[in-house]
Amino acid sequence: MTIYAHPCRNTRVFLEFFAFTTIVQGQTDSPAGKMHIPLEIFLKRAKNDLMEDGTASISTMDLEQPTRYSLVRQLGEGGMGEVYEAIQHGADGFVKRVAIKLIRNWVAEKPEFLQNFVGEAKLVAQLVHTNIVQTYQFGHSNGSPFIAMEYIQGTDLLQMLHVHAARELRLPVELAVFIASRVCRGLAYAHTRIDANGESLGIVHRDISPPNIMISCEGDVKITDFGMAKALNLMLDGEGEIVMGKACYMSPEQARGERTDGRSDLFSAGVVLSEMLIGANIFAAQDPSEVIQRILDMEIPDVRDLCPEVGEDLSRILKRAMARDLSQRYGNAGEILVDLERFIYSAGYGPTSETLAEYVRDYVKTEQASISPTGGTALLKSK
């Protein structure tokens, strides 16, 4: 199939302003620069184009060239959908590698899911940050919704942890804290986004877990699947079972079905950090109901007892991140970010993205080596 989309109809384009600024900057070799609009003419036109209310009358341009994606290979799949490496095709041979998440038909047929999914997609499309996988486009293919996203050449944290477990290794403490700090940096950005009126967008991830933390071959740590957990809230799977997400990373308030805010993500980030340090999830159990019970009631162990390399300072950070009492937990992601960075850089130096990149190349199979192609290129069409 080939996905065709018209994401930019009636896009407002400041043609004359661009031409003018191009001339000022001396870039007369560009098409706009060759227009040579004198300043006085530009200002006169700008004045004449003012509406009665004082706003500018700006010409629009219809961009009729559709966006087309070709699927190259499957990168992963889950109960809700599949993720593919894809190529975005544009005019004059333009190509860009992206990731496409296709939502399964039985999920897309749920009206409550689709409404939540589209609403969340609109919100997360506004998130542009180095520690968040960027959303490029939302569309439909053969009746099923899809999202075009930033493609990450690398691995996810779950795969990294599996590789370490298979080799009977654990992540170095400093790298584990570095990864957690980059996650919290992305959360700090997302949690504080506001709309045009200065009101909080109220963005909460609700599913901070190893599969949703990507690590690129360049050492960048990126959160993916913002908004998916909310869209899936109280959804049923194909066999009628309630979808609870990755329960063993839930905060207590999330496990109780209560309203959550950014502090819920911080609890989950603490669980992920503890797993990186000790090599296991502290709440994991075979029975989902037992997992929930552990999150709500189990005494949270001191990570120092399970990982001797963890000192008192890091143990204190983990205890505060995973405090069941919201008044005792970190109030926002910026607070825990400061503590994590102070921990790894207190000596004046510490791990960087390049440090992590070298580690990934040495110890973790990248997706190219670990995920076999599906065989051939599929083409997708959307209506």
Active site residues: 207
Q: Structure tokens of 96?
A: 């860009």
Burial state string for 133-163 with b = 16 or more CB within 10 A and e = fewer than 16: bbbbbbbebeebbbbbbbbbebbbbbbbbbe
Do residues 194 and 201 make contact, with C-beta atoms less than 8 angstroms apart? yes
Neighbours of 321 (CB within 10 A): 25
**Strand-pair partners of 200:** 194
What gap in Å lies between CA 210 and CA 254, rounded to an integer?
18
Amino acid letter for position 11: T
Contacts 24+ apart (CB under 8 A), 73-77: 73/371, 73/372, 73/373, 73/374, 73/375, 74/371, 74/374, 75/99, 75/367, 75/371, 76/371
What gap in Å lies between CA 218 and CA 354, rounded to an integer?
7
